[in-house]
Every structure is written in C-alpha cells, then in structure tokens.
A and B are shown apart, each in its own frame.
Chain A
Amino acid sequence: MLSASFLKRNLACIKLGILSRISYPIDFLMGIALLPLCQFAVEAAFWTGLIGVSGSSSLGGFSLAYYLGYFLWQVLPLGGINWRFERAMIAEINSGAVNALLLRPSSFYEYHLGQLLGQKIISILIMAPFMIVIAWAWDLPFHIERLPLALLMGFSYVILLFALHFAVASMAFFLDHVYSLNNTKNMIIWFLSGELLPLDLLPSPLREWVIALPFSSGVYLPAAYLSGRIELGLFLQGFVSLAIGGLFFGLLARWIWKKGLRSYSGTGA
C-alpha cells in the first residue's frame, strides 16, 4: 500500500518534471536539443583543431574519432551539472517556499528528484537518436550494444549527484548565501567527472585517483566505455564507487536536511 502510493507520487513528480520542461517550447528546444548539440560542436571543433595543429594524428594514444566519440556523450544531459535546478531548490529554502512542500504528504527530496528524473528522461528520449545518428554519420567509434549499461550508469550518477545537490541546498537552512558553495561543488565535479577533458590524459597517479572517484561515472566512464576507450572491467568498477558514493552522499544529505529542518522549525517557520 505504502509502495503503491510512493510509486504514484513519484510518477506524478516525474510527469510534472516532463510537463514543466515542455511547457515553454522554445526554451525546451534550446535547452534539450540545441544547447547540448552546440556544446558537442564546440568540443568537436576544439579537439579537431587541437589534434590538427599538434602535428600528430593522435593524442594520448587515441585518434580524433575517439575524442569525438567521447564528447558525444555530452549530447545526453546525464553527466553535466544542472545549475538552474539546484538554484531553484536553494531559492525555495531561502525564500520559505519550502513550507508549502513540508505540509504535503510527500518529501522535498522526492518532489525534486522526481522532477529532475522526468527532465532527464524526456531529454534522453529526444537526444539519444541524435547521438546515434551523429555517430553513424561521422563514423565514430560507438558501441551501441553498450548504450543500455552506459545509460544505467548515467541515471545512477544523476541520483548520486542529486543527493549531493540536496545536501548543499539543505545548507541554505544555516547559511544565507549557499549559491557560492554550490558553485564550488559544481566546479570541482566539472573537472572530476571528465567533462573538461578525458581523464586518461591526466598524468599518473592523479589519473587513477580521479577515475576511482564516483564522479568519473558522470562522463568519463560511460563516454569512454561507449566509445571503446575502456573495457568492461574498469567500467563496472564505476558502479562500485557509485554505490559507495551514493550511500555516503545520501546519508550526508539526510543528516544535513534533518539538522537544517530542526533549526528551521526552531526559528519559527
């Protein structure tokens, strides 16, 4: 009974996320399709130019096609950080809009996680075909049979990252300006996930340390696995670090939220 209502509630949140995303068609089109494609085009232009002017046909042992295949993952918004979404959570706590949610028979956590997942689902449904067409048209190394596992890792990473976002957003109960702290977190994740550059280019032992962290499951591991830069063994290690990281950040988020809520209620909200 409890699980049925839980499922129903969360499906409603996912639906809300999808509907709120498509209610502004131009904004939706820009955010879901045009922007990720442009980001891919920017990376493609950079790495093409870089390898072109370096005077070599490869960089770090990989040809240009492997780099393009790697950055193709960014067309799917699974690894990237979502600044707008986190800002909304922080603003709700800062402004007291969170009160309306606290009174309802659902949690702030599932309300936002459901919406975030809804947004990701609609984005992937639209962008996955684009990714496949680009890989096919440009003849990029793209192992389509690996896509389901890569997507599974991508969604697991979204849930892990959401726990971290939630922990930072909950700091808004204690601090007036959490936005900067949020930016600090995002800046670090941007590098650690492999969005800036493929992590295998980093010098050893930094490379091994960074890949072992759960953040590499955001971009590096799925993108490298899909494009054939790494094999299954290393890829599967990502699920282990995701599980450990998820548990850690989940507990951290829960602790900060509970503590924040107590001090918030205590100040008269």
Chain B
Amino acid sequence: MLASLKKICRVEWALFKLSAIADLQVPFNIALQFVNDILWYLMQVVLFETLYLHVSSLGGWGVEEMRVFLGMLFLVDAIQMILFSQNFDQFSEKVARRDLDLLLLRPASSQQLMTAQKLQCSFLLNALCAFIWLIWSLSALPGGFPYARAPLLLLVIPAGVSIFYSTRLLFCTMALWMTRAEHFHEFYFTFFKIGQRPDLLYGPSVRYLILMVIPVGMIASVPTRVLVDPTDQFALPFLLFVSAAFLYIANRFWHWSVKRYMTIG
C-alpha cells in the first residue's frame, strides 16, 4: 500500500515537471488561464455580493460565512484544475481515440495516467489567490477564527478535492460504456453548479441528492460548515467518510469498466 502510494507520488512528480515545461512554452496561455479562473471567481463573488444587497442572511449564513464558502470553493477548484481538470476535459476524446489502450500497457496505474497525466501548473497562482481569499475571509468572520482550528484545513481541503475527483471520475468513466459521452461530462458540471452554492439553501430532497447520492455539496459546503460552525460535530466525520467511500467507489467502478472495455476490445 505504502509502496504503491510512493510510486504514484513519484510518477506524479515526474508528470508535474513535464507539464510545467510544456506550460512554460506558452506564457500567454498561462496568463489567460490565470485570468479566466480569476474571472470565474469574480462572477461567483458578484453573484453572492449582489444577493446580499437584497437579503441580510441566507440559511443562517451572513455575507462573511458566504465568503469563506467561496474561498473553499475557489481553493478546491484551483487544486483540481492543477491536478485533474484537463485530463477529465479530454477523457471522452481520449477514449474515442483509443489512447487508453496504450495507457493500459504501461507499468503504472491506468487510472492515474488517464486522470492526472497532464497537470496545469498555471493554476498554482490561482490556488495561491484562492488560499489568500480563504484566509482573509476566515479572519473576517464575526467571532474570528481561532488558530487552533487551522489544522482542520489540512483535512477539509483534501477531502473536498477527493470528492471532486471521485465524482468527476464516476461521470467520466461512462465514456467507456458508450460511443459518445461528452454530455455526461457537461451533465457533471450541471450537478457541480449545485455544489457551487451552499447546501443550506436547498430543500431536503436536493440536499439528500447532493450530500449522499452525488456528493457535490460536500466539495465546499460541508468543509465550510466544519470551519465556520464549531458546534456542528457531525460535519467533519461525515465529510471524511463520504470522501473515502466515494474515492473507493470511483476506483472500483473504473476497474470494473476497464475490465469490461478490455473484454469487448
């Protein structure tokens, strides 16, 4: 287990260096990618700041808590943009082009090569901006944010990223089952849009869907609750359990689909 984890990290580091060299060839593109993500952050900020011009509280959260939520959303999104996003964007195309066949022959995890082969180093800057926003918003909370709770960030951020990764993988793996699956990818982003808003805003059935079935609500909402609401003892164990469970389910589904893909040929 530890040996395979070390191998995954070693391969990932090599892929990171290769990707960084490739990205640095096109500095204009790096700048635009940075700007694009900042624009996306800005849109989300405009949406909620505009809404708070008309209301004082949403589901018990004031504008300060909402800013923490946005910080968490931006940071998790930036990390997944660095590590996985481009690979998932091209997933269905890669399957259609039969690039997967070659990856299956290599002495490394096919899941890793399919989902984390090309990293986007330009988003490191976005991750930094998102992290600064998160720290600023935490410090601006009405009761402040005690430093003793800061280590929680080391748990909730990876948990959010892991849920993002596993839910995207589940959707993308559908490409192994059909001729064209681009819309499954778009379908995921429709669901992710629900996760871009706090789960407290939704009714019970939608909350059940986004917390238990397709847990996009766990990407930023629940991690934020862990940070802003110390009285919620249930949120952290629930978040860790769901992130581990979905990582396992996504991995099993991948292996099962690959096996079927190899049988069909």
A→B interface (CB under 8 Å): 24, 26-27, 30-31, 34-35, 38-39, 42, 45-46, 48-50, 52-56, 59-60, 84, 175-177, 180-181, 183-184, 187-188, 190-191, 196-197, 201-203
Contacts and interface: CB of A to CB of B under 8 A. Distances in A.
Contact of A56 (B43, B55, B193): B55
B62 to A, nearest CB: 12
12 contacts: A27-B182, A31-B186, A35-B187, A42-B190, A45-B202, A46-B201, A46-B202, A52-B203, A53-B60, A53-B201, A59-B51, A184-B39
A176 B25 CA distance: 11
Contacts of A35: 183, 186-187, 190
Contacts of A60: 54
Contacts of A46: 194, 197, 201-202
B212 interface: no
A49 B203 contact: yes
B43 A180 contact: no
Contacts of B58: 50, 53-54
B206 A187 contact: no
Interface stretch (B26-34, B67-75, B128-136): B26-34
Contacts of B201: 46, 49-50, 52-53
B190 A180 contact: no
Contacts of A183: 32-33, 36
B40 interface: yes
Contacts of A24: 179-180
A175 B202 CA distance: 44
Interface residues of B, number: 40
Interface of B: 26, 28-29, 32-33, 35-36, 39-40, 43, 46-47, 50-51, 53-55, 57-60, 178-184, 186-187, 190-191, 193-194, 197, 200-203, 206
Contact of B53 (A42, A45, A55, A203): A203
Contacts of B197: 46
Contacts, number: 108
Contacts of A175: 28
A39 B190 contact: yes
Nearest first, the 7 closest Cβ-Cβ pairs linking A and B are A180-B32, A30-B183, A49-B201, A177-B29, A54-B55, A53-B59, A187-B39
Contacts of A187: 36, 39-40, 43
B202 A184 contact: no
Contacts of A54: 54-55, 57-58
Nearest to A44: B206
Contact of B184 (A30, A39, A42): A30
Nearest to B209: A45
B54 A59 contact: yes
B213 to A, nearest CB: 14
A176 B190 contact: no
A187 B206 CA distance: 27
Given A50-B51, A175-B28, A187-B39, 13 more contacts: A24-B180, A26-B180, A39-B190, A42-B190, A42-B194, A48-B203, A49-B202, A54-B54, A54-B57, A60-B54, A180-B29, A188-B39, A196-B46
A202 B184 CA distance: 33
Contacts of A84: 182
Nearest to A190: B43
A178 to B, nearest CB: 9
B200 to A, nearest CB: 7
A45 B39 contact: no
Contact of B193 (A42, A53, A202): A42
